[in-house]
Amino acid sequence: MTRRFFGTDGIRGRTNQHPLTAAMAQRVGQAAGAHFLRGDHRHRVVIGKDTRLSGYMMETALISGFTSVGMDVVMVGPVPTPAVAMLTRSMRADLGVMISASHNPYVDNGIKLFGPDGYKLSDKDEAAIERRLEKEPTLVEPPLIGRARKIEDARGRYIHFAKSTFPEELRLDGLKIVVDCAHGAAYQVAPSALWELGAEVVAMGVSPDGTNINDGCGSTAPAALQARVVEEQAHIGIALDGDADRLIVVDEQGRIVDGDQLMAVIAISWARRGMLEGDGIVATVMSNLGLERFLESNGLELVRTQVGDRYVLEAMRERGFNVGGEQSGHIILSDYSTTGDGLVAALQILACLVEEGRPASELLHQFDPLPQLLKNVRFGGGAPLETDGVRKAIEAGQARLEGTGRLVIRKSGTEPVIRVMAEGEDESLVEAVVDSICEAVKAA
Q: 58-103: per-residue pLDDT in tens?
A: 999 999 999 999 999 999 999 999 999 999 999 999 999 999 999 9
DSSP 8-state secondary structure symbol assigned to residue 307: S
290, 283 in Cβ contact below 8 A?
A: no
What span, in angstroms and rounded, lies between the C-alpha atoms of 93 and 118?
9
Contacts of 109 (CB under 8 A, 6+ apart): 12, 13, 15, 20, 52, 54, 55, 58, 99, 100, 101
Please state the rounded mean pLDDT for residues 105-110: 97
Beta-carbon contacts of 79 under 8 Å, excluding residues fewer than 6 positions away, are 48, 49, 87, 154, 155, 158, 185, 189
Mean pLDDT within 391-411: 90
pLDDT at 210: 98
> Which strands sit side by side in the sheet containing 372-378, from one edge to the other?
372-378, 417-424, 405-411
Q: Is residue 5 part of a domain?
A: no
Q: Which domain holds residue 432?
A: 372-443
pLDDT surpasses 90 at 386: no
Using only the alpha carbons of the chain, give its radius of gyration: 22
Same domain, 289 and 302: yes
Query: Which CATH number does the domain housing residue 101 bear?
Result: 3.40.120.10
413: pLDDT strictly greater than 80:
no
What's the confidence (pLDDT) of residue 291? 97
Residue 349 lies in a domain: yes
From the candidates 54, 68, 102, 192, give the one annotated as an active-site residue: 102
Report if residue 249 sits inside a domain. Answer: yes
Average pLDDT value for the chain: 95
Is 4 among the domain residues? no
Residues 31 and 138 in one domain: yes
Burial class (CB in 10 A: 0-12, 13-18, 19+), 390: buried
Return d(Cα 285, Cα 375) in angstroms, integer.
15
Same domain flag for 345 and 376: no
> With bands split at pLDDT 50, 70 and 90, how would you rate the model's confidence at 328?
very high
Whole-number pLDDT of residue 384: 87
Q: Indicate if the pLDDT at residue 382 is higher than 80.
A: no
427: in domain:
yes
- Evaluate whether 208 touches 262 at the Cβ level (below 8 Å): no
Provide CB contacts within 8 A for 444, sequence distance 6+: 382, 384, 387, 389, 390
Sign of CA dihedral 293, 295, 297, 299: negative
Together in a domain, 49 and 138:
yes
Q: Could you tell me if 263 and 345 lie in one domain? A: yes
- 207 Cβ neighbours under 8 A, 6+ residues apart: 183, 187
Q: What confidence category does residue 2 fall into, taking pLDDT thresholds of 50, 70 and 90? A: low
pLDDT at 196 over 90: yes
Q: At residue 405, does pLDDT exceed 80?
A: yes
Whether residue 357 sits in one domain with residue 267:
yes
Cβ–Cβ < 8 Å for 394, 422:
no
Segment 35-56 mean pLDDT: 96
Q: How far apart are the first and last CA of the chain?
A: 27
Range of weakest confidence among 3-7, 278-282, 315-319, 366-370: 3-7
Amino acid found at 184 = G
Contact by Cβ (8 Å): 180, 222:
yes
SS3 244: coil
Whether 286 maps to a domain, the answer reads: yes
User: Is 108 in contact with 118 (CB distance < 8 Å)?
Assistant: no
Whether the pLDDT of residue 333 is over 60: the answer is yes
pLDDT exceeds 80 at position 1 = no
Same-domain status, 167 and 146 = no
- Flag whether pLDDT at 9 surpasses 90: no
Number of domains present in the structure of the chain = 4
152 burial level (CB within 10 Å; 0-12, 13-18, 19+): exposed
Look at residue 411 and give its three-state secondary structure: strand
Give the start-end residues of each E strand in 274-392: 280-284, 301-305, 323-325, 331-333, 372-378
Burial (CB count within 10 angstroms: exposed 0-12, middle 13-18, buried 19+), residue 195: middle
Question: Which residues does 370 contact at the CB level (< 8 Å), separation at least 6?
Answer: 288, 289, 290, 405, 423, 424, 425
pLDDT tens track for 53-64: 999 999 999 999
Q: Does residue 398 have a pLDDT over 70?
A: yes
| 361 in active site | no
Examine residue 323 and state whether it is found in any structural domain, yes or no: yes
Q: Using a pLDDT cut of 90, give the percent of the chain over it.
A: 89
| pLDDT digit string, tens, across residues 270-309 | 999 999 999 999 999 999 999 999 999 999 999 999 988 8
φ and ψ of 77, to 5 deg:
75, -160
If asked whether residues 56 and 94 sit together in one domain, one would say: yes
Task: Please indicate, yes or no, whether residues 29 and 147 belong to a single structural domain of this protein.
Answer: yes
Q: Is residue 2 part of a domain?
A: no
Q: Is the pLDDT of residue 208 over 90?
A: yes
Alpha-carbon distance 344 to 66, whole Å?
31
Section 167-182 average pLDDT: 97
Q: Which of 217, 234, 253 is the last residue of a domain?
A: 253
Same domain, 148 and 161: no
The answer on 38 and 136 residing in a single domain is yes
pLDDT of residue 260: 97
Residue 378, domain CATH: 3.30.310.50
pLDDT at 411: 86
| Contact between residue 252 and residue 235 where contact means Cβ atoms under 8 Å apart | yes
Please tell me whether residue 342 adopts helix, strand or coil conformation.
helix
Residues 60, 90 share a domain: yes
Q: In terms of Cα–Cα distance, which of 32, 18, 35 is closest to 47?
A: 32
Q: Is 372 left (phi over 0), alpha (psi -120 to 50) or beta?
A: beta
Q: Does pLDDT of 4 surpass 90?
A: no
For position 409, what pLDDT does the model report? Answer: 93
